Amino acid sequence: MEQNDIAVGLDIGTTKIVAMIGRKNEYGKVEIVGIGKSKSLGVHRGVVNNITQTIQSIQQAIQEAEADSGLKISEVVVGIAGQHIRSLQHSDYITRQNPDEVIDSEDIHTLCNQVHKLVMLPGEEIIHVLPQEFKVDGQAEIKEPIGMYGGRLEANFHVVVGQVSSIRNIGRCVKSAGLELSAVTLEPLASANAVLSQEEKEAGVALIDIGGGTTDLAIFKDGIIRHTAVIPFGGNVITEDIKEGCSIIEKQAELLKIKFGSAWPGENKDNEIVSIPGLRGREPKEITLKNLSKIIHARVVEIIDQVYLEIKNYGHDEQKKKLIAGIVLTGGGAQLKHLKQLVEYITGMDTRIGYPNEHLAGNNDSETTSPVYATAVGLVMNSLEKGNNKYQEEVVLSKNQMV
């Protein structure tokens, strides 16, 4: 198999690092040929805080994926998240030298590159420049200007900005693990690609990706990305609360959350009790499931409230901006019992759990289609599509190559 037929996504998360190898089959669907994962050490809330540990975790995940697929990995697409990410709206235009010729991808490229030159705050750089609607000679709401005549090409952009140091640290880890960094993609955009259908993006949908360290949000309407945000809370703070609230160690708290945790306290009877073995000869601890779900509920409500605030900031209350397809939950945190019901209760919006099998070939095993792998699947898809993408963004890369 040719190296250029395959794509490798590297999801550097707070709890786990996943390397996923994929290729397109003859039907245009994505086939996952190898997967490797390792415990993520050295990443906190989506940001690298220990270079050496992160490099080791990356290498471990890559080796596992190589062993699984029998392929050698040389370059990867990396997902980026973290509390330093912010997004803004920006309009820009170019005046074309030759209005008698039709607009081509080169013109759009020039316009996107112009936005890349925006002056950011010290220590920040642009990760993505995503065109929303175009205007040609004042004619508005054009989705695809290629092939039209016009002298002035204008567009509204969704610009995603992150901290230079955080992006460079990730680049450094990937390079030191012996890999080439072929692109950096915002994680909520990758997850959205993996779990949302085109109809949902058209109707209006909010994707909430609940990871270990961060909760990512991407809002689409009319098929266009409208809003992105990264909230610095995730599944780990829930585990932390259980650990503190029940006075047990983290490993036990995590197991409790996965096995017995529920986001809805009314679900458990008062007499349902779980016994936790004590440490080294100490008495076992008894914890009621009602208390456990109360602890989880309190923190989950806080996370959902923050996300809902972002959805309101986008303008969900306005008729024109209504998200008809509601909310899609994905990421490891989406597996928490009764979370879907709680989100519907708090936001009043239709909710479903997003599995990344929307664009995968049918023969992939059930493991790959777990919400945990949404970002990794999305990164592979983004990388496979990059080849024929109209709006290539190599500007970001040229900066990120600096190590």
> What is the rounded average pLDDT of the residues 272-288?
85
Q: What is the rounded CA–CA span in Å between residue 313 and residue 301? A: 18
Among 254, 174, 178, 187, which residue's Cα sits nearest to residue 13?
187
pLDDT score of 104 more than 80: yes
pLDDT score of 366 more than 80: no
Helix, strand and coil content of the chain, in percent to the nearest 5, comes to 40, 30, 30
Number of CB atoms found within 10 A of residue 32's CB:
26
Percent of the chain at pLDDT above 90?
68
**What pLDDT does 398 receive?**
42
Q: Give this prediction's pTM.
A: 0.89
Q: What is the rounded CA–CA span in Å between residue 279 and residue 99? A: 76
Within 13 A of 223's CA, how many CA atoms are on the CB side? 7
pLDDT score of 389 more than 50: no
Asked whether the beta carbons of 95 and 151 are under 8 A apart, the reply is yes
Q: Which two tokens stand for residue 313?
A: 């900031």
What is Dmax (Cα atoms) for the chain?
85
Task: Please write the tens of the pLDDT for every residue from 194-230.
Answer: 999 999 999 999 999 999 999 999 999 999 999 999 9
Q: What is the rounded CA–CA span in Å between residue 321 and residue 64? A: 44
Q: How confident is the model at residue 276 (pLDDT cuts 50, 70, 90)?
A: confident
Asked whether the beta carbons of 142 and 135 are under 8 A apart, the reply is yes
pLDDT score of 267 more than 80: no
Least confident of 142-156, 237-251, 287-301, 348-362: 348-362
> What is the rounded average pLDDT of the residues 383-390?
64
> What is the rounded average pLDDT of the residues 235-253?
92
Task: Report the Cα–Cα distance between both ends of the chain, in Å, rounded.
Answer: 31
Q: What is the rounded CA–CA span in Å between residue 347 and residue 333? A: 18
Asked whether the beta carbons of 217 and 210 are under 8 A apart, the reply is no
Q: Pick the more confident residue, 280 or 341.
A: 341
pLDDT score of 15 more than 80: yes
Q: φ, ψ for residue 124 (rounded to 5)?
A: -115, 155
**What pLDDT does 344 receive?**
96
